[in-house]
A and B are shown apart, each in its own frame.
Chain A
Amino acid sequence: MMTGTPANAVQSQPHGEEETWELRLYVAGQTPKSITAFQNLKKICEEHLAGRYRIEVIDLMEHPQLAAGDQIIAIPTLVRKLPSPLRKIVGDLRNTERALVGLNLRPTEPSQ
């Protein structure tokens, strides 16, 4: 599932008029935390953004120069590139409620 390349993107079909969410998950090697984070993210996206999201996984172990661009300090970090504004969620996304708040996704209202 995780090959650790930035090109390794999970993409679902865009859903008509709605904006595609661009998400970037920064990890450092295939650690348990990274794997948990990816699984949690996948679940959230399928539940709330089905068909209109794209996840890019960036492994800093292989591309350390990419850490500076998004000001990555903690691992794992999820960056919501689109829709703006930029949001960052640090951690393995174990707490779904908080992850949703961080992404600005309410369980009842899928998007703004």
Chain B
Amino acid sequence: MPKTVNGKNGRSLPKAPTGIQGLDEITGGGLPRGRASLFCGSAGCGKTLFSMEFLVRGAMQYDEPGLFVAFEETPEELTQNVRSLGFDLNRLVAEKKLLVDFVRVERSEIEETGDYDLEGLFIRLGHAIDSIGAKRVVLDTIETLFSGLSNLAILRAELRRLFRWLKDKGVTAIITAERGDGTLTRHGLEEYVSDCVILLDHRVIDEVSTRRLRVVKYRGSTHGTNEYPFLIDGDGISVLPITSVGLQHVASNERIPSGIPRLDAMLGNEGYYRGSTVLVSGTAGSGKSSIAAHFAHASCQRGERCLYLAFEESPSQIVRNMRSIGVDLEPWVRKGLLRFHATRASMYGLEMHLATFHKLVQEFQPRVFIIDPINNLAFASNRKDTSAMLTRLIDFLKMQGITALMTSMTSPESQETSDADISSLVDTWLLLRDIELSGERNRAMYVLKSRGMAHSNQIREFLLTDRGIDLTDVYLGAEGVLTGSARLSQEAREREEDLRRQQLLDGKQRELARKTEALEARITALRKEFEAEAEEARRVIGEEKAREEITRRNRERMGASRRADAGIDAGERPARPRRVQGGHR
């Protein structure tokens, strides 16, 4: 404790990595080195497995031999129990990297009289630690002493001494303890072991169990404070620090096709953004899975791995059904590009599913992630949790740059509202709906939203053909949106109407042409008439001029013959007829 520095960065406190996936992330590097940590929780919450994995990982990955002091199980039982996690204790024991010491405290055999101490336990521990040079020690669970010995005063004093002694030994220890009623541990061990307290929980909500972990306290270090779900499977424990992800992901400008050319066209001609989240919602049988299958098909065609989580159908059923619409997924499964993961959603809690997703994603490294459908997950947990959990999942996928497509089944009454709580999380939302008209149902689709792209706002009729999905324009008219045979008959009616109109138009056009022709003929006639008149006028004018000239000449000739003064007469006389001519014009 004297070495504890209130380092906010946690760097000042030396830590021993647990090697348990996720736990080191939450604790910022592991458990406090050279100190004891308390793992508490109710029966069956995984305390023993956690502490055993801490030792096994320490021995295998960090070259720190470990001592497991078992108060409840024999070494043989323990070895068997952790074999399911892939740990071979016998090998580690043979290599002197691990020692399991079984301490049996049998109340019925023990009588107490007078003063005693627990030096025997100290000696045993000390001997075991020294024999393999243990750096890590687990006491599972020391509380058994309380049931074997009745002198609480001695017990408490000795426990206090034990934890100090462990610290002096310089070993990194895990003490496990049962959860008490309203307290962290039944016997108040948190009083003694207070550097790091981790609470494990195994809750059953709606008949679905979920394991969770919370760092209650970590003296001298920052740590994640949330409850983190964890998973126990064939590879040990994985804690999921999925709440720790934020909104720091880099948005990609890359676009990837949806597998449906016409849909790409609706999405700004290019398809989805890489790393975005697509929600396809619609009523039952509206074709959600088909859109998902097209997307899976397209991504495999690009050579990208695709993880398909199916909650309603088995993989072979999906493959068969999609083949009927011309999408053959089987080759991709064989090539290892497409992996199905089919479970019933009600098998586990939502956290457990997310934990599984997390693991699958890290294992398979897909570029495309499909959940079909997401509702079942929501059923698996109570509604409140769902959006928080989905946020975590979506953030996680975005961090990895994985494009996610989720389908969601909505009830016909609440098509746009039922997904409202997750709509803010998705980037592209495709809505499929049934349009019921004149005795038939037809599928229609539109893009409700698509962030960051100019998308179409049109409703398209959605057709499932044996060559895949086809989107066609719907009929939009005075009678509203028409699809299916209503659209076809409307279109036929319209074609008839068109024809009739065309004929009418043709007639009108012919009439117009005729009228134009007639008009032009009349114009020509008029022009001809006018030209004739103009010619006549010009001829008359010409004659008149000629006549005037003759008159003038005759006058001159007359004047000459009368010997008149030519100077005055010639200057005056010709001006007058010229003025008359000007007036004429």
Contact = CB atoms under 8 A, between A and B. Distances in A.
Contacts of A65: 127
Contact of A89 (B101, B110, B119, B149): B110
A72 interface: yes
A91 interface: yes
Contact of A75 (B103, B110, B116): B116
Contacts of A61: 123
Nearest to B130: A64
Interface residues of A, number: 34
A28 B123 contact: yes
Contacts of B105: 71, 73
Nearest to A97: B113
Contact of B113 (A64, A68, A75, A93): A93
B244 to A, nearest CB: 42
A53 interface: no
B114 A68 contact: no
Given A73-B103, A73-B145, A90-B149, A67 B123 contact: yes
Given A64-B127, A74-B149, A92 B116 contact: yes
A33 B116 contact: yes
B106 to A, nearest CB: 8
Given A28-B120, A73-B145, A75-B120, A102 B127 contact: no
Contacts of A98: 111-113
A91 B112 contact: yes
Contacts of B77: none
Interface string B78-122: 000000000000000000000001011110011111111111110
Contacts, number: 98
Contacts of B577: none
Contacts of A28: 119-120, 123
Contacts of A85: 109
B112 A89 contact: yes
Contact of B123 (A33, A40, A60, A91): A60
Contacts of A72: 120, 124
Interface of B: 101, 103-106, 109-121, 123-124, 126-127, 145, 148-149
Given A73-B145, A87-B109, A89-B111, 10 more contacts: A28-B120, A60-B123, A68-B101, A73-B120, A73-B121, A73-B149, A88-B109, A90-B112, A94-B113, A95-B113
A26 interface: yes
A91 B150 CA distance: 12
Contacts of B115: 33, 36, 91-92, 94
Contacts of A37: 114
A104 B165 CA distance: 36
27 contacts: A33-B115, A33-B117, A36-B115, A37-B114, A40-B114, A60-B119, A60-B120, A60-B123, A64-B123, A64-B124, A67-B124, A67-B127, A68-B124, A73-B145, A73-B148, A74-B121, A85-B109, A89-B111, A89-B113, A91-B112, A91-B114, A91-B115, A91-B116, A94-B114, A94-B115, A98-B111, A98-B113
B141 to A, nearest CB: 14
